[in-house]
Amino acid sequence: MSGTWITTRAWLLMLPLLVVMIAVIGWPLVDTVRLSFTDAKLVGTEGTFVGFDNYAKMLGGSNFQRAFVTTAWFAVVSVTAEMVLGVLAALLLNQQFRGRTALRALMILPWALPTVVNATLWRLIYNPEYGALNAALTQIGLIDSYRSWLGEPGSALTALIIADCWKNFPLVALIALAALQAVPRDITAASLVDGAGPFNRFRYVILPYLAGPLLVALVLRTIEAFKVFDIIWVMTRGGPANSTRTLSILVYQEAFSFQRAGSGASLALIVTLLVTVLAVAYAALVRKAAGAS
Amino acid sequence: MSSGGTKAAAKAAAGAPMDMSTAARKRTDFSHTAHHREASKEAETLKLLEVIMLKSIRTALLCATLAGVSFAGHAHAETTLNALFMAQAAYSEADVRAMTEGFTKANPDVKVNLEFVPYEGLHDKTVLAQGSGGGYDVVLFDVIWPAEYATNKVLVDVTDRITDEMKSGVLPGAWTTVEYDGKRYGMPWILDTKYLFYNKEILEKAGIKAPPKTWDELAEQAKVIKDKGLLATPIAWSWSQAEAAICDYTTLVSAYGGKFIDGGKPAFTSGGGLDALNYMVTSYSSGLTNPNSKEFLEEDVRKVFQNGEAAFALNWTYMYNLANDPKESKVAGKVGVVPAPGVAGKSEVSAVNGSMGLGITSTSKHPDEAWKYIVHMTSQQTQNAYAKLSLPIWASSYEDASVTKGQEELIGAAKRGLAAMYPRPTTPKYQELSTALQQAIQEALLGQASPEDALKTAAENSGL
């Protein structure tokens, strides 16, 4: 009896939130699905039903394939680099040394910075006329003259990945650092007594403790990286010659610049689907990892 | 027109608080004004942040957007006008605020909320607000948008509101900024084209007597400057993958007598359209053009020119007085300006129509007050008083000593340049065409495709 009452009360308390969530997430989602089967414009015509035309057009176009490859490359490289850097930074910050607290606090700064501010800063660093990167590299003799990092298709995407890594590796480091605190001291001490070297200690003693939390970080970062938009929009707007145009930028152009709400919605749903597939796969991994430990 | 402002906007934002604090003392609605004063203190980065963070959230989930923007609609308790401007080039933010204050002083019953966004966000913000039921009464629009705005009923037709006095007083060329299909969708406000700026000192050192009259002559003079070791890359352009690149391209298309569209079909793949891109590619690959041009917006061009690192630069009106300001510029007093050159046998001078107008949105609940505001902003009196960064639309202003004083050279260039203004294509699908052309220009510059192939691909992707 009291159990039912508690359940009922819980639902009652959640009701306002549920209503709001259905209003701002559920309904627009349903409407987007409807929109994606029409040829509606953003302003003006309501559009008529066109079946799977939008999906066929979007998936079949060379733009989508190219943007997909760009996005996947961006996500894989930046997330890998962030994971490696994050774990290394966490291991370092887990050591005893003077100024550790200050360093830990400093490390969070890039992550706390709004993405657009970060992008603007890196644009200044990469500036071809007076950028700090050009100055530094010329002064240590690595390059002869100033270069246009964001103006060359070969370097623009890499430059964006570096900027994105700088901003996001602290999140991984933070999660890894928290996990490191949970590693029991007696086990690391015991492995030391047993003569395990630094690498073996990391591989067999510490890493198992990190695996779960790192997987969570991996999920979060991959999904975020797959949706990347703001940092690219500020730094290159998809240029030069569309070499940094990711799926999200394509969605923006289609739906808002060209005002084709119908095909824009279908493209957005395709991206959502891709991200969902990633999320589900990772969720399965996390569950497996949790079960194993 | 199009521009990527950083410094000018930041300066304007920094200048604004003083104006607003004066206003605060005069108004009873202190909290409201104070709020705005806070807002105006934000630097451009933060403004960018607001605009782009909104955009990024929107892009993450299109569906969330469609619900999200509907909250952006404003309720009107009294006559409050919401106006959308851009935060760069032409009139500075401080200028627009001061002009608006002149209006609210004369019309105490009307309040005007000003919002400034970078040029790159102006079109999308206007359309998004409209798509979600409105929000703005008055919007600034670029010469390339009336076709689309008229077709999608974003702006109202104001043909009947325009008086005979306006019709006869405003320069005939200025009206093309607001016209589509024989109707007028606002008042021209910023009358602008790209001029050829040159550094007098560098030309003198190179032994060049007069600035170039043709594009070939420009290349020859740049070569002399390069060969004499005065500058490694003497010409600066704004060829970033943005509208700015199209403005430079259009200037060249007009010089070579090209056409964008003929009979509804793309016509830029041959003739003048192809010659124009060929010129850009040759100038780039021969090392006469600053290679960083392909990531420059107008503000980057201005910085390079002001630092004395360019002998020639193509840019809008506003650069003249800023590059001549000793506080801003290392080349103050050495700035020369002429209309963009022509092509022997084809044109005397060349120019792109980069003008902008003010219009009333179809969702405005106060079209009469909005029109009154537009009339004030575009009046000869207002424009003459703020003629340093943008020139008036009124013909007789160009003979007015208060306008011409101190900028005779610019006025001289304007008289010839404005008369030659060439329009970018008038089509409701302009955004698609422009995006395709931006890509073509960059591919050709980077050598990924020949100019001919790049333009053919652009024609296929132009949506025409």
* pLDDT at B315 (0 to 100): 96
Contact A251 B68 (CB under 8 A): no
* pLDDT at B316 (0 to 100): 94
> How many CB atoms lie under 10 A from the CB of residue B401?
6
Contact A153 B292 (CB under 8 A): no
Most confident of A201-215, B30-44, B328-342, B422-436: B328-342
Residue with tokens 């002869």: A144
CA distances from B111 to B76, B81, B140, B384, B390 (A): 11, 6, 18, 24, 25
* pLDDT at A192 (0 to 100): 86
Q: Are A149 and A87 within 8 A, CB to CB? A: no
Contact B291 A239 (CB under 8 A): no
- The C-alpha of B48 sits at a distance from chain A's nearest C-alpha, in angstroms, of 7
- Distance in angstroms between the alpha carbons of the first and the last residue of chain A: 38
> What is the CA B194 to chain-centroid distance, rounded?
9
Contact residues for B247 (Cβ-Cβ < 8 A; gap 6+): B1, B2, B194, B238, B352, B354, B424
User: What residues in A contact B123, CB-CB < 8 Å?
Assistant: 257
Contact A229 B61 (CB under 8 A): no
User: What residues in A contact B120, CB-CB < 8 Å?
Assistant: 237
Q: What is the pLDDT of residues A116-144, one digit of tens each?
A: 999 999 999 999 988 999 999 999 999 88
All domains of chain A, ordered by start, with CATH?
51-292 (1.10.3720.10)
User: What residues in B contact A43, CB-CB < 8 Å?
Assistant: 127, 130-131, 152-154
Per DSSP, the residues of A120-171 read HHHHHHT-TTT-HHHHHHHHTTS-SS---TTTSHHHHHHHHHHHHHHHHHHH
Contact B52 A233 (CB under 8 A): yes
Mean pLDDT of all residues in B165-178: 90
Residue B430 phi/psi, 5-degree rounding, is -55, -40
* pLDDT at A74 (0 to 100): 96
Residue A258 phi/psi, 5-degree rounding, is -90, -5
- The C-alpha of B314 sits at a distance from chain A's nearest C-alpha, in angstroms, of 18
Kindly tell me if the per-residue pLDDT of A247 is higher than 50.
Answer: yes
Contact residues for B136 (Cβ-Cβ < 8 A; gap 6+): B82, B83, B84, B115, B126, B129, B361, B363, B364
Q: What is the pLDDT of residues B109-168, one digit of tens each?
A: 999 999 999 888 899 899 888 877 778 999 999 999 999 899 888 999 999 999 999 999
User: CA A175 to CA B412: how far, in whole Å?
Assistant: 64
* pLDDT at B66 (0 to 100): 38
Q: What is the dihedral of CA A253, B434, A67, B269, to 10 degrees?
A: 150
Kindly tell me if the per-residue pLDDT of B389 is higher than 80.
Answer: yes
* pLDDT at A154 (0 to 100): 87
User: What residues in A contact B61, CB-CB < 8 Å?
Assistant: 28-29, 268, 272
Closest of A117, A64, A102, A92 to residue A176, by C-alpha: A92
- Between B409 and A256, where is the model more confident? B409
Residue with tokens 């923006």: A252
Contact B63 A258 (CB under 8 A): no
Count interface pairs A-B at CB distance under 8 A. 151
Using the CB atoms, write b or e for B65-98: b if 16+ within 10 Å.
bbbbbeeeeeeeeebbbbbbbbbbbbbbbbbbbb
Closest of A215, A221, A199, A213 to residue A81, by C-alpha: A221
Q: What is the pLDDT of residues A158-170, one digit of tens each?
A: 999 999 999 999 9
User: What residues in B contact A23, CB-CB < 8 Å?
Assistant: 67
Q: Given pLDDT bands bounded at 50, 70 and 90, which one contains residue B219?
A: very high
B194: left (phi over 0), alpha (psi -120 to 50) or beta: beta
B54: left (phi over 0), alpha (psi -120 to 50) or beta: alpha
Q: Are A246 and A67 within 8 A, CB to CB? A: yes
Residue with tokens 């090209």: B258
Helix then strand then coil, in percent of chain B rounded to 5, is: 50, 15, 35
User: CA B85 to CA B114: how far, in whole Å?
Assistant: 7
User: What residues in A contact B240, CB-CB < 8 Å?
Assistant: 237, 239
R_g over Cα of chain A: 24
Q: What is the pLDDT of residues A41-78, one digit of tens each?
A: 887 677 888 988 999 988 888 889 999 999 999 999 99
Kindly tell me if the per-residue pLDDT of B62 is higher than 60.
Answer: no
User: CA B25 to CA B33: how far, in whole Å?
Assistant: 9
Tokens of B22: 């004066």
* pLDDT at B38 (0 to 100): 39
* pLDDT at B44 (0 to 100): 44
Q: Given pLDDT bands bounded at 50, 70 and 90, which one contains residue B22?
A: very low
User: CA B394 to CA B191: how far, in whole Å?
Assistant: 10
Find the residue in A nearest to B150 (Cα): A44
User: CA A262 to CA B230: how far, in whole Å?
Assistant: 55
Per DSSP, the residues of B19-80 read HHHHHHHH-S-HHHHHHHHHHHHS-HHHHHHHHHHHHHHHHH-HHHHHHHGGGG----SSSE
Residue with tokens 């298709």: A153
Kindly tell me if the per-residue pLDDT of B46 is higher than 50.
Answer: no
* pLDDT at A3 (0 to 100): 67
> What is the CA B414 to chain-centroid distance, rounded?
15
Flag the least confident range among A116-130, A134-148, B21-35, B323-337.
B21-35
> What is the CA B155 to chain-centroid distance, rounded?
19
Q: What percent of chain B has pLDDT over 70?
A: 83
Of A129, A227, A241, the CB nearest to B443: A241
Q: Given pLDDT bands bounded at 50, 70 and 90, which one contains residue B335?
A: very high
User: What residues in B contact A270, CB-CB < 8 Å?
Assistant: none
pTM for the full model?
A: 0.81
Find the residue in A nearest to B443 (Cα): A241
Of A236, A253, A255, the CB nearest to B62: A255
User: What residues in A contact B60, CB-CB < 8 Å?
Assistant: 227, 229, 248
> What is the CA A130 to chain-centroid distance, rounded?
30
* pLDDT at A211 (0 to 100): 86
Q: What SS3 state is found at B176?
A: coil
Closest of B77, B80, B84, B67 to residue B125, by C-alpha: B84
Kindly tell me if the per-residue pLDDT of B24 is higher than 50.
Answer: no
Of A28, A116, A229, the CB nearest to B66: A28
Contact A230 B295 (CB under 8 A): no
User: CA B277 to CA B440: how far, in whole Å?
Assistant: 9
Of A32, A252, A259, the CB nearest to B55: A252
Mean pLDDT of all residues in A93-101: 90
Mutation target to probe the A interface, by most A beta carbons within 10 A, among B48, B125, B127, B295 is: B295
User: What residues in A contact B438, CB-CB < 8 Å?
Assistant: 239
Kindly tell me if the per-residue pLDDT of B183 is higher than 90.
Answer: yes
Helix residue spans in B379-419 (DSSP H): 380-385, 401-404, 408-419
* pLDDT at B120 (0 to 100): 83
Kindly tell me if the per-residue pLDDT of A282 is higher than 70.
Answer: yes
Burial of A98 (0-12, 13-18, 19+ CB in 10 A): exposed
Kindly tell me if the per-residue pLDDT of B264 is higher than 70.
Answer: yes
Q: What percent of chain B has pLDDT over 90?
A: 70
Helix residue spans in B172-317 (DSSP H): 172-175, 200-205, 215-227, 243-255, 272-285, 298-306
Q: Given pLDDT bands bounded at 50, 70 and 90, which one contains residue B213?
A: very high
Q: Are B221 and B209 within 8 A, CB to CB? A: no
Of B52, B62, B154, the CB nearest to A116: B52
Contact B56 A23 (CB under 8 A): no
* pLDDT at A286 (0 to 100): 75
Mean per-residue pLDDT over chain A, rounded: 90
Contact A241 B439 (CB under 8 A): yes
Find the residue in A nearest to B118 (Cα): A234
* pLDDT at A85 (0 to 100): 96
User: What residues in B contact A120, CB-CB < 8 Å?
Assistant: 45, 48
Angle, vertex CA B410, rays to CA B387 and CA B91, nearest 5: 30
User: CA A4 to CA A25: how far, in whole Å?
Assistant: 29
Contact A257 B124 (CB under 8 A): yes
Residue with tokens 């003497």: B234
Most confident of A24-28, A205-209, B288-292: B288-292
All domains of chain B, ordered by start, with CATH?
7-192+355-419 (3.40.190.10), 195-352+429-461 (3.40.190.10)
Of A43, A148, A237, the CB nearest to B131: A43
Mean per-residue pLDDT over chain B, rounded: 85
Q: What is the pLDDT of residues B392-415, one digit of tens each?
A: 999 999 999 989 988 999 999 999
Q: Are A227 and B60 within 8 A, CB to CB? A: yes
Mean pLDDT of all residues in A79-104: 93
User: What residues in A contact B68, CB-CB < 8 Å?
Assistant: 24
Burial of A80 (0-12, 13-18, 19+ CB in 10 A): middle
